[in-house]
Amino acid sequence: MIVQRLHLQAPETVNRTRWPYSIPAVAAMGDHGLEFHRPVTFLVGENGSGKSTIVEAIADACKIPSHGGKGGTKYASTTTLTPLGEVLQADLTVEGRALTLGPRRRRKGFFFRAETLFNLGQNVSGMYGFWDEPLTEQSHGEGFFTVLEAMFNDPGLYLMDEPEAALSFTSCLRLVALMDHLATIGGQIICATHSPILTALPGADILELGDHGLRRTAWDQLQLVDHWRRFMAKPDLYLRHITNDEDIRR
């Protein structure tokens, strides 16, 4: 393990009525901290539940650029910290400190942020320590795997925010295999996702975020898994309420 626990540096000083502390999951983390027990942890919840906010703050706490990118790069230390990242403390293992806070060229960490990946690619494609192929000459899914296969290959801390955004069903399965490999060789992954495929990775820890705050749960108890099951079995039960198709409504 690399990150053992997250907690706020001075939880009693934060204003719980202001964002991001008004988000129930962030408030719960402030009250109780957040411990990591397994090499792969998924954060699952609706839009606005705090998944990205927490992952970005973890990046800040571990000296990885919160806008996405590689730990140990020169620009990583010049970015503005997120509001939560300013006060979030990451308790690291001995190995974790070496991999995230040690000599810059030896650090092993990457924040795969789907939202900003192609902007990042325009700046670093072809540079030493990154990947050779220009992402602009590939499909979104191909570009995602160019980055994943180049950067996710050693023990280290790997943060991900909705990596499934450009991936097909089979590509998601391919990503599950990559995650499993990283966990086996000593990597740690913390991933915010909406994907029932990724969260099915055997042995992963799943945290469900919502109005309740955050809680550990099993894959088959996830609300998103229940919705997908119901939708795939009878899509008309969902679509009849949001479309004007008379055939569905009858």
The residues, any chain, with a CB within 8 Å of residue 121's CB and separated by 6 or more, are 134, 135, 136, 143, 147
Examine the domain organization and report whether 235 and 179 are in the same domain: no
**What is the Cα–Cα distance from 142 to 162, expressed in whole angstroms?**
16
pLDDT in tens, 234-249: 999 888 878 766 555 5
User: Residue 22 is inside which H or E element, if any?
Assistant: none
Same domain membership, residue 224 and residue 156? no
Residues making up the chain, counted from first to last = 250
Tokens of residue 204, six digits = 């992963």
Domain shared by 115 and 131, yes or no: yes
- Exposed (0-12), middle (13-18) or buried (19+): which is 197, by Cβ within 10 Å? middle
What CATH number does the domain containing 164 carry? 3.40.50.11940
C-alpha to C-alpha distance for 44 and 33, rounded to whole angstroms:
17
- The answer to whether the CB of 195 falls within 8 A of the CB of 217 is no
Alpha carbon 23 to chain centroid, angstroms: 17
What is the count of structural domains for the chain?
A: 2
pLDDT of residue 107: 78
pTM for this predicted structure: 0.91
Q: Give the amino acid at 139.
A: S
Q: What is the pLDDT of residues 146-180, one digit of tens each?
A: 888 888 888 999 999 999 999 999 999 999 999 99
Looking at the structure, do residues 213 and 228 belong to the same domain, yes or no? no
Q: Are residues 120 and 185 in the same domain?
A: yes
Judgement on whether residues 171 and 245 belong to the same structural domain of the protein: no
- Least confident residue range of 17-21, 40-44, 138-142: 138-142
Peptide bond into 20 cis (omega under 30): yes
Q: Which structural domain, as residue segments, surrounds residue 16?
A: 3-217
Residues 91, 135: one domain?
A: yes
- Angle (deg, nearest 10), helices 24-32 and 51-61: 40
Of the CA atoms within 13 Å of residue 135, those in its CB half-sphere come to 24
The 3-state DSSP class for residue 174 equals helix
pLDDT of amino acid 48: 95
Q: Given a cut of 80, is residue 54 above it in pLDDT?
A: yes
If asked whether residues 115 and 155 sit together in one domain, one would say yes
Whether 68 and 127 share a structural domain: yes
> What are the residues whose beta carbons fall under 8 Å from the beta carbon of 157, sequence distance 6 or more?
2, 3, 62, 64, 71, 96, 99, 100, 108, 109, 187, 188, 190
Say whether both 127 and 250 belong to one domain.
no
Closest CA to 112 of 192, 204, 3: 192
The answer to whether residues 29 and 146 belong to one domain is: yes
Q: Is 193 helix (H, G, I), strand (E, B) or coil?
A: strand
Amino acid at 103: P
The answer on 143 and 243 residing in a single domain is: no
